[in-house]
Amino acid sequence: MNRQDFIARLRAGLRGLPPPVIGEAVADYETHFSEAHAAGRGEEEVAAALGDPDRLARELRAEAGLKRWDSERNPSAAASAVFAVLGLGAIDILILAPILIWIAGTLLGLFIAAVAAFGVGAVLMVAGPFVIHGAPVMALLLAGLGLVAGAASLGALATIGAIGCTHALVWYGRLHLRLLRPALEPQGIAA
């Protein structure tokens, strides 16, 4: 593998990241090749010493995903962080998947319940006095208001839970990244 092959594979591995991020990463390795050339080392030798470009790309991709979650807290950034960490293979998916699915399912259920309660509460408050005859108007209004407020707080709690879970996952991924799985080993040696 020569310089061109190495850079091409690195670029391929980084595809989809913001262009400045790709540019900076590629520049690091281009400079490395230039410095090595100036020091009299051959391209093939340098490429071999650098390590597997696919694996390096996964490392850089994970780092970019985690960094994005740090700077913008939104569902898309959370998803990209989670997928980057999973793509790194940093997390034992077999162990973690059932837990993740359970947590995600519970949160989704809470969200749906919150939306439903909000709707029922709103209908009760607005249409209740006209539809349900004989019931005291004040009680209907208060009941509707209570449901709406409860739904809002349930939704907020579920959101906090989702953010907390993403945090925990990112923390766990970073821990692995730092301690266990930098692409340090030469190709072929299992971690």
Helical (H) or strand (E) element with 95: helix 93-126
Of 94, 95, 138, 191, the one binding another protein (CB under 8 A) is 191
25 is a site residue for another protein (CB under 8 A): yes
Backbone phi and psi for residue 17, each to the nearest 5 degrees, phi listed first: -75, 160
Contact characters 38-77, another protein, x per CB under 8 A: xx---------xxxxx--x--xx--x--xx--x-------
Of 5, 35, 44, 54, the one binding another protein (CB under 8 A) is 35
The three-class DSSP label of residue 181 is coil
Which residue number, 85 or 158, has a Cβ lying nearer to another protein? 85
Secondary structure E strands in the chain? none
Rounded distance between C-alpha atoms, residue 115 and residue 118, angstroms: 5
The contacts of residue 182 (CB under 8 Å, 6+ apart) are 59
Count of residues making up the chain = 191
Which residue number, 72 or 185, has a Cβ lying nearer to another protein? 185
Which residue number, 78 or 158, has a Cβ lying nearer to another protein? 78
**Residue for token pair 């700077």:** 71
Taking CB under 8 A as the binding criterion, the range among 21-29, 79-87, 94-102, 135-143 that sits at the site for another protein is: 21-29
Half-sphere exposure of 30 (CA within 13 A, CB side): 9
Q: How many helices (H) and strands (E) does the chain have?
A: 8, 0
Which residue number, 114 or 183, has a Cβ lying nearer to another protein? 183
Q: How many residues bind another protein (CB under 8 A)?
A: 35
Contact characters 160-179, another protein, x per CB under 8 A: -----------------xxx
Neighbours of 144 (CB within 10 A): 20
Segment 85 to 104, residues that bind another protein, using CB under 8 A: none
Give the residues lining the site for another protein (CB under 8 A): 25, 28-29, 31-32, 34-36, 38-39, 49-53, 56, 59-60, 63, 66-67, 70, 177-186, 189-191
